[in-house]
Amino acid sequence: MRRAAAALAAVGLVLAAGLGPAAPAAAAPKAGPGQWYLHEYGIDAMWKTTRGAGVTVAVIDSGISADHEDLKGTVVGAKDFSGARKDGRTPVGPASAIGHATGVAGVIAGRGVGEGPTGVAPEATLLSASMWLGGSPPSGADSSREQAAKAVRWAVDSGAGVINMSLGWDDPAWPEAWDSAFEYAFSKDVVVVACVGNRSEGAKRVWSPATVPGVVGVGGLTKSGRVASGSTAPGSAVSLMGPAQQIPVPYYKGGYAEASGCSFASPIVSGAAALLRAAHPDWSADEVVGRLEGTARAVKGHSGRTKGEQRDATVGYGRIDPPAALAAKAPAQPPNARRELADWVSMHRRAEPDGGAKGGASASASASQGASAAPAQAAAAPRTVAGPAVLIVCMLVAGGLVAYGIAAGVRARRLRRH
């Protein structure tokens, strides 16, 4: 009997050894140096519930530097649309914009390595679609708008649940090819987010693709929560506002930088959408957007907000409140991105005998491909501002492609913790 008991005990030990100790829960991510907005907007508290696991966010931009220490393992798919014959994991474009996508990617899904920023959705994965942002494109390259249309379709087919477009054209209209590309994204239940433009870089109104019905147009707020007048642009297409000042980002050559502009408010909203989609895979893209818009808060110092058909052209629905969106009940009447776009096409394309938007693909393509990076004082000319800590990038040419406000220089000193 004792032998039997001893044998059973031995078996139990073997089984226990085979099973091993219970795996410890993954360590909770922490905000990196200078990431003030993660606590201010309640994002760090959401990580107890959701970190974006299982959701893929496409970054349509200059190409993510996939081997950056803060982004290793995040990029699960990549393709180049720039004509530079790269792999999508290698940044492309002129020096003024080449690091833009890497910064945006870090805001969405940075892993918080060392001094690096922790992304809003630190367990989300990324797709990298590289485009040529600015002048002197490779010989034979598609127009920038054609690149964008192809990149949207590829992102959808590659499994994106959210698409981030921190770029734009200084024309609110868009080519007819975009109608079908964005309709395809909406038909496949994808959230599409785009920044609205920086007034400091000459944006007098919202630029496309934020003007496409169904796209979530994002403007910028200051660190104190007020409208950052230089980091947003007015128009009925403004949907939400997010932080757009002093945003730590990975620099494509290694190290880190600090960025400003609505280019970096947009990926915060995209990251929030990824958190919601990870926590509730059953929520449709429209339901996710409806919750983000329906729970947005008033913006400090601004009296209006969008309500129903009454649009506020400055802040849209207001400042994002991701924890409230996560806790919100289903909106009674969620937006319908696919229908909104279809209604617009039905109403407006009839009036265009050539079938394309004025100032659309051909006009904008030629302007984009001829864009110059030479500094100039005129509002409609390219402007580059350099400083000891950062390089503020913008390529602003009438009808041309714009990469908003990345701080593309490595800081000489470490960012202080906030």
Pick the catalytic residue: 44, 61, 80, 170? 61
Say how many C-beta atoms besides its own lie within 10 A of residue 340's C-beta: 16
Which of 280, 279, 296 lies closest to 238, judged by CA? Answer: 296
70 vs 254: CA distance, rounded Å: 9
3-state secondary structure of 242: strand
Pick the catalytic residue: 239, 263, 266, 364? 263
Cα separations (Å) of 325 from 36, 104, 223, 263, 317? 20, 22, 21, 22, 13
Q: Is residue 252 within a helix (H) or strand (E), and if so which, with residue range?
A: none
Contact 404, 394 (CB under 8 A): yes
Would you call 100 a catalytic residue per the annotation?
A: yes
14 vs 315: CA distance, rounded Å: 63
3-state secondary structure of 409: coil
Would you call 312 a catalytic residue per the annotation?
A: no
3-state secondary structure of 273: helix
253 vs 89: CA distance, rounded Å: 13
Phi, psi (degrees; rounded to nearest 5) at 392 = -85, 120
Sign for the CA dihedral angle at 123, 258, 209, 335 comes to positive
Say how many C-beta atoms besides its own lie within 10 A of residue 372's C-beta: 15
Pick the catalytic residue: 68, 70, 100, 171? 100
173 vs 320: CA distance, rounded Å: 26
Q: For the chain, how are helix, strand and coil distributed in percent, rounded to 5?
A: 30, 15, 55
Contact 128, 92 (CB under 8 A): no
55 vs 159: CA distance, rounded Å: 9
Would you call 354 a catalytic residue per the annotation?
A: no
Q: At what angle do helices 266-279 and 100-109 cross, to 10 degrees?
A: 40
Please give the positions annotated as active site: 61, 100, 263
